[in-house]
Amino acid sequence: MSRRLYRFDQTKREKGFNIIAGVDEAGRGPWAGPVAAAAVVLRPDVVWKDLNDSKKLSAETRERLFEHICRESLFHSVALVDAPMIDELNILQATFTAMRRALYHLKVSPDLVLVDGNRKIPECRSVQETVVKGDAKSASVAAASILAKVTRDRWMAEAHKKYPQYDFCNNKGYGTPAHLAALRRHGPCDIHRRSFAPVVEAMSPLLPFAEMAPCS
């Protein structure tokens, strides 16, 4: 798998794009916690045989690759957008905000930005190319997916210490039956996304769904 990922990026370099930044996010779907986005510029001469889409890797492998990427990439950056801003902007715009911040903090202007998915980042001045399922096609995007996911998972593990009743250490803020039960029992905490339907329902258990506030 990894050789194919690196070949994808190499074809872009052969077209004159020397500094390629992969961009990906983690945490669009959870009910709690921030959305994370990462931008990574890899060294063209470094190959990790087990690099892959972060969702297809074990937690142990992700942690190991996280350290490699941070140590050996040319440039890397991760940005978080918290739950209140997600509620203010909506999750799509919050994700774009995180992506722009990650690119801004790269300290280099990429020749090409490879964006996971099918939407370009608004207000981004670099040349962009969207890559559907890019974390399984491009080494740079796969690396970004790992940085974003590991950073967010670590953040949620810390949040678990403050809010153990929601089991954030295991569910990472995603919707699980146990998380839903905890929401109904305790109500939302400070890091819950209050524009998301299950959280709205937990705040307004007596209202019929049609009377609830619009949700993302």
* Residue 160's pLDDT band (cuts 50, 70, 90): very high
Residue 203 has what pLDDT? 83
**What percentage of the chain carries pLDDT values higher than 70?**
94
- Judged against a pLDDT cut of 60, whether residue 213 lies above it is answered with no
Question: Hey, where are the domains in the chain?
Answer: 2-160, 163-211
Global model pTM greater than 0.85: yes
Query: Under a CB-based contact definition with an 8 Å cutoff, are residues 113 and 21 in contact?
Result: yes
* Predicted pLDDT at 1: 55
The verdict on domain 2-160 having CATH code 3.40.50.300 is no
Higher pLDDT, 202 or 121: 121
Measured over the CA atoms of residue 213, residue 214, residue 215 and residue 216, the dihedral's sign is negative
The span from the CA of 67 to the CA of 153, in Å, is: 15
Q: Which residue has the higher pLDDT, 202 or 13?
A: 13
pLDDT tens per residue, range 45-68:
988 889 988 988 999 999 999 999
Q: What H or E segment, with its residue span, contains residue 35? A: strand 35-41
